[in-house]
Structures are given as structure tokens and as C-alpha cells.
């Protein structure tokens, strides 16, 4: 068994973002370490997909103003 090859500068290869994946797996999904490390990359991608995919258009200004009028902030003291 040998170690993974080093990435060469300018090769275009990008290292896997382990820190971000562990943060999402442990913090967001609440996975136990054994469950996290047992997942395939495809399983992990599908598990975090609801948190990563945009499912709606951003709120437009007129809609924001309508919400602000309907639910105003309390007056400042």
C-alpha cells in the first residue's frame, strides 16, 4: 500500500475538502464518526443535498417590503 500522490502546483487537481465535509457530517447531519466514515462520497452528497441545493428564487424587493409591512419590527425603545 502506498500513500496518495502529492498534488502538483498548476495541475488543476483540488484536494478533497475534508474539514468542510466533517463539519457538515458531524455538525449539520449529527452523524457519529463511524457512520460518517462508512459513507460513500455519493451517499454523503445526497445526505447534504437538501442543505446545499437552492430550491427557491431569492426574495424580490417588493415581496420583502410586503412581508415587512405585514410583520413589522417592534418600535425601538
**Quick check: 3 pLDDT over 60?**
no
Mean pLDDT for the chain overall:
86
Distance of CA 43 to the CA centre of its chain: 14
**Quick check: 7 pLDDT over 90?**
no
* Segment 43-77, tens digit of pLDDT: 999 999 988 877 678 889 999 999 999 999 998 88
Which pLDDT band, with edges at 50, 70 and 90, does 26 fall under?
very high
What is the pTM for the complete model shown? Answer: 0.53
Distance of CA 58 to the CA centre of its chain: 17
The alpha carbon dihedral of 28, 29, 34, 40 has a sign of negative
Amino acid at each position: 500500500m502506498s500513500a496518495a500522490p502529492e498534488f502538483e502546483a498548476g495541475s488543476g487537481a483540488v484536494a478533497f475538502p475534508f474539514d468542510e465535509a466533517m463539519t457538515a457530517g458531524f455538525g449539520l447531519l449529527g452523524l457519529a464518526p463511524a457512520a460518517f466514515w462508512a459513507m460513500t462520497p455519493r451517499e454523503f452528497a445526497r445526505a447534504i443535498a437538501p442543505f446545499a441545493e437552492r430550491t427557491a428564487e431569492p426574495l424580490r424587493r417588493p415581496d420583502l417590503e410586503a412581508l415587512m409591512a405585514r410583520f413589522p419590527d417592534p418600535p425601538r425603545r
